[in-house]
Structure 1
Amino acid sequence: MLPDLTVPASLLAVPENLRDSFTAPTFATFVALVTGLVAQTGKGTVTGMLTGAGLARSWSHDRAHAFYSRSVWNAEILGIVLAHLIAKTLVPADAVVVAVDDTLFKRRGKKAFGAAWQHDGAAVGAKPVGRGTCSVVVGIIVELPFCSRPVCLPVMARLWRPRPARPKSSWPPR
């Protein structure tokens, strides 16, 4: 699959279930990034993932960045397939617990896409407002045998953008 990356069969088993969500070249890049995410000890950035997979010097960073910006795959379809896989293998048949969370990531500048003044649940002070982008994440709560507490496995995420305020109309006259 990847000439410069050996992936253990135990790690490859999970991405193999998601293969139909990608084209062949995109799947190879996806497996490399997942392998790097699991193996890296630093930040979960693209550079960190390539370093964790041992590909930082042999792959162009553009290849990894293009996976997110230009590759042909659908995040919603991938999330649904992943949710089905988690529910089928890790969740008891009688109960699926889903968690939804929104997080404000502080962003400044006129060119920060999706940035706006929004509610910030982590803000300190009288006005819990901050400028940034808000990501809404959906996850499935599971109990894993090697963890002492439940874990939330994220399956979908979306950038939430507030609608711009409409100008007040003077019609009809009061």
Structure 2
Amino acid sequence: MTWPEDDARHREVLAALRAWAREIDAVPYPPGLDIDALMARHFESRHEEPVMELVVTTTAAVSVLAVGGELDLTGSRRLRSRLTEEIGLAPRALVLDLTGAAHCSARGLAVLLEATGDARAAGVPFAIVGCVPVVRRAIDALGLGDALQLHATTADAVEWLDLLDRLKTLR
């Protein structure tokens, strides 16, 4: 909204704004307060969305999908998509390495369960390794340990998956 220069209401509003600005300027800042540093710190603390890193390492025996970052809503979507892709490639075995996971939301846990079911349905042996304490606590609190094949290390999981493969050939 614009007012003509000679409008009485416009002059009243400007006078009120000037008076208010003088009152604010009259308020003393605490000694040693650096407004510029405070503002810089505020804007530095506003970070971008957390980045999730997914790295796949494939050998003849196993594909390992390593997760780095947060398994929040956004990260869980990316992980779900990548797990679906990897399971679709039908590797001899698939290991999900959560060593680099910093956080796991409820959606992240749902993705772990869904991937376990999808891998089973596709006939792809699947194991999860490196559950950091924050992820392990969530799994234990919900009683999901029996539904997920959890192992301490990738070597343990590969050994277990190899044993499964040998048992299949005996049938």
Q: Normalization by structure 2: what TM-score?
A: 0.23
Query: Which is richer in helix?
Result: 2
Instruction: Tell me which structure has the larger Cα radius of gyration.
Output: 2
